Amino acid sequence: MAEYGRVLRTAAQVRAVWLPLGLVLMAYAAASLVNTPLRDDIRQGTPNLLGFGLHIDEPVSADKWMFGQLPTTWLQDRLYSPSSPHWYDAVAAAVYISHFLVIPAVAMVLWSTNRRRFRSWIWCVSLLVAVGTTTYIIYPMAPPWTAGELGLVDPMTRISGIGWDFLHLDAIGNLLSQAQLASNPVAAMPSMHAASAALVAAFFWGAAALWKRVLLALYPVAMGVTLVYTGEHYVVDVIAGCLAAGAVVIGWQLVANRKRARRRGFPPDLRTVADRS
């Protein structure tokens, strides 16, 4: 019975700390559901189920205002070859798909090594997704490749999966294509790929050595370049994602500092109770 009780307690702990990740998936599904009408009617101003209109023109204007032309078009004109993927396409494909692996990988490592940091990580991820999915609903926005397909901008192509052809891993490329077809087509602002990469960098930055900080900084930079080059996001989406991640980490740190300050005000015999709050 004692062993059975320990198993039940462990299962309860696992369920409690991993529950937010389940809520993350539910949030994405809810945003996708609200934006269902936009899948078959991708035009400027088309309303979703809550009446919020689709945005296509604004990010084009924003990127052109910053750079004079669309960075995606500029990069693809110089680097993209439809007939023969290059080595950097393979790098871009790996960086792009890392988004789906890094968040749970970090969670699993922290779960095994530092439960306090694990809880902080899970809640930072949850807060970030809450910000992102809420924005997807109230400000649905189409990515660059959609504007290219509609002929609203200079020709551009969605090429986040062509690198798998270079690596002769067609099965992964096909799986990615199927996942993209099922995903929310108007969830470009903010870029959660960029936000997640920036979250990794910001979350571990404070305790990292100099060489680790260099690697941490390179990840969101590589992700941002990849997203723009492959037609997945505008630069303005990437910037918004990075700002959202930074705000989440700073906000969570302020909350943690306040809780620590509050614990210091407790009598010694009550600090254990405060730690659990």
In angstroms, the Cα distances linking 74 to 85, 89, 155, 229, 231 are 17, 16, 10, 9, 11
The 10s digit of each residue's pLDDT in 177-197 is: 777 666 777 888 999 999 999
pTM score: 0.85
Count the neighbouring beta carbons within 10 Å of the beta carbon of residue 273. 10
The 10s digit of each residue's pLDDT in 146-180 is: 888 888 888 888 898 888 888 888 778 777 777 76
Q: Measured between alpha carbons, how far is 226 from 231 in angstroms, rounded to an integer?
A: 9
Question: Can you give the residue range of the structural domain that contains 92?
Answer: 2-275
User: Does residue 103 have a pLDDT over 80?
Assistant: yes
The 10s digit of each residue's pLDDT in 57-79 is: 999 999 999 999 999 999 999 99
User: Does residue 274 have a pLDDT over 50?
Assistant: no
Residue that has been written with the tokens 């990075």 in this structure: 242
Span 216-239, average pLDDT: 95
Span 108-122, average pLDDT: 88
Q: Give the count of domains, the chain.
A: 1
